[in-house]
Amino acid sequence: MHTKMILFMLLLGTAALLAKTLSYATLHQMPTSIEKDYYIWRFLSQPTTTPTEARRIIKEASHLNKKLKTAYKQKTGTLPPPIKSKYTTAPNHIWKQRSRAHKDFKSALKLLREGKTKEAVSYLNAARKNYKRRYDIDKTLFWLYLVTKKRVYLDQLHRSHDPNIYTLMAADALRSSYPPTLTYRFRKKKSDINIKDPITWANIKKKLNRTDDLEALARKYEAQESIGIHTYIKAKACKYTKAFFPMPYRDIMSKLPKNRQALIYAIARQESHFVPASVSRSFALGMMQFMPFLIDHVAKEKGEKIDYDEIFDPKKAIEYANYHLDYLSKYLYHPLFIAYAYNAGIGFTKRYLKNPKHFRNGPYEPYMSIESMKNAQAREYGKKVLANYVIYMNKLGLHTRIFPLMKILTTPEKTDAFRN
């Protein structure tokens, strides 16, 4: 992005931040959370906030991201003091085991590119033994099938409860049904809570960690408006052994073409689990997880003035996402590539696709290109959104299988405008 454009975005961001004034007293009452961090950032960015207030409130942050550090330095002239992270991480032995499995999987791909099939199978089996998450196990099973063509791996995949690209591909190979998914619908439309308030969501998350009866907690949010919160809790209650695919906000979504509905649902499920007031550690906001600079850009394009908190309204989040997807779809025609661009930017996606090593005809393509992306976040995000998309297309009544979508990934004229 050019320097002038970056400066322009920053100026827009500053203007948007001035739309809502926050006080130290208001922030002080908020629970320590990512959501409070977001409001601390906004507070630090206000011209009316004093350096003294900034030094006091920064001590209440749960995590210092780049935005917070920059805003604090602009207000006080110094970097904020380090704070002890309040987020738990996986135990060291689990992290090491997962890291070892990832390394073995990468080694297997490298060996396959070198034509060393037997050695690759050995590394895939090693990775499978060390992986614990169902998704990762399914990944190695799929690759073992690709390499060996042994049906036993497809059968194991078909018994998985997780609807991911690997289990969907296995179902297509077996000409069988996809893994079961759950879509709840409630008669009650409105929720008893303010679904647009990030601090309300922060308090609900705290309840999640304090209660032993998650099912009872989930029942409190049995309304179409709060179905994202409901299914978020239900998924945690079953330890993610069931796949929930909500379809909220039908009054808004049904006005869009079904393939666009499926794409928005697919992205929202991956981004926020349909929680309207969701805030990420990097301050991506709302159900569709818009970064503040992108909110500014879309608002300018639409000729609107918007406070960032307005994106916590599902209607506004869907409106802005649909607008942004209109732009991405001018250049990208495949849901996988659109997902890459939504997550990592259209520039990144263009560069990846224009590299002659990626998504061309060759051994293990297009799967090798999908797995070899060095940007791990975009790589995994794209795979999950694609699986979500296929499932939502079917839920919307459009019979869709994943194999045809995979097959065309090496055919540029059907997937994007960058490789023609």
Task: Specify the pLDDT at position 397.
Answer: 98
Same domain flag for 26 and 71? yes
User: Nearest-CA neighbor of 215 among 238, 181, 248, 247?
Assistant: 238
Q: Flag whether pLDDT at 178 surpasses 70.
A: yes
Q: How far apart are CA 358 and CA 43, in angstroms?
A: 44
In a domain, 59, yes or no: yes
Q: How far apart are CA 340 and CA 346, in angstroms?
A: 8
Provide the CB-side half-sphere exposure for 419 (13 A, CA).
23
Residues pairing with 244 in the sheet: 182
Task: Specify the pLDDT at position 117.
Answer: 97
What does the pLDDT look like over 255-273, one tens digit per residue? 999 999 999 999 999 999 9
Q: How far apart are CA 292 and CA 369, in angstroms?
A: 31
CA distances from 368 to 56, 283, 330, 362, 364 (A): 50, 32, 26, 9, 6
Any idea what the CATH number is for the domain that residue 97 is in?
1.20.58
Q: Flag whether pLDDT at 154 surpasses 50.
A: yes
Count of domains observed in the chain: 2
Average pLDDT along the chain? 94
Same domain flag for 70 and 101? no
Mark which of 115, 134, 160 sits at the end of a domain: 160
- Reported confidence tier of residue 186, pLDDT bands at 50, 70, 90: very high
Given a contact cutoff of 8 angstroms between Cβ atoms, the answer to whether 263 and 338 are in contact is: yes
Q: How far apart are CA 59 and CA 161, in angstroms?
A: 43
Of 92-101, 130-139, 351-360, 405-414, give the lowest mean pLDDT range: 92-101
- Reported confidence tier of residue 6, pLDDT bands at 50, 70, 90: very low
Task: Specify the pLDDT at position 93.
Answer: 76
In a domain, 173, yes or no: no
In a domain, 16, yes or no: yes
Same domain flag for 117 and 64? no
What does the pLDDT look like over 216-229, one tens digit per residue? 999 999 999 999 99
What does the pLDDT look like over 155-175, one tens digit per residue? 999 999 999 999 999 999 999
The first and second tokens of residue 381, run together, are 């995000």
Identity of the residue numbered 275: V
The first and second tokens of residue 96, run together, are 């090491």
Give residue 103's domain range: 92-160
What does the pLDDT look like over 288-324, one tens digit per residue? 999 999 999 999 999 999 999 999 999 999 999 999 9
What does the pLDDT look like over 69-121, one tens digit per residue? 999 999 999 999 998 766 666 677 788 999 999 999 999 999 999 999 999 99
Task: Specify the pLDDT at position 92.
Answer: 79
User: Nearest-CA neighbor of 21 among 59, 54, 49?
Assistant: 49
Same domain flag for 62 and 25? yes
pTM of the model: 0.93
Residue 98: in which H helix or E strand, if any? helix 92-113
User: Nearest-CA neighbor of 172 among 363, 404, 410?
Assistant: 404
Q: Which positions ≥6 away from 210 have C-beta within 8 Å?
A: none
Q: How far apart are CA 173 and CA 112, in angstroms?
A: 22
User: Nearest-CA neighbor of 45 among 14, 23, 2, 69?
Assistant: 14
Q: Flag whether pLDDT at 9 surpasses 50.
A: no
Identity of the residue numbered 198: P
Same domain flag for 106 and 149? yes
Task: Specify the pLDDT at position 20.
Answer: 80
Mark which of 16, 45, 76 sits at the end of a domain: 76
Same domain flag for 67 and 117? no
Of 10-14, 67-71, 355-359, give the lowest mean pLDDT range: 10-14
Given a contact cutoff of 8 angstroms between Cβ atoms, the answer to whether 87 and 62 are in contact is: yes
In a domain, 41, yes or no: yes
* Residue 3 burial (10 A CB sphere; 0-12, 13-18, 19+): exposed
- Reported confidence tier of residue 8, pLDDT bands at 50, 70, 90: very low
Task: Specify the pLDDT at position 1.
Answer: 39
Task: Specify the pLDDT at position 420.
Answer: 73
Task: Specify the pLDDT at position 19.
Answer: 56
Task: Specify the pLDDT at position 4.
Answer: 38
Q: Which residue has the higher pLDDT, 59 or 16?
A: 59
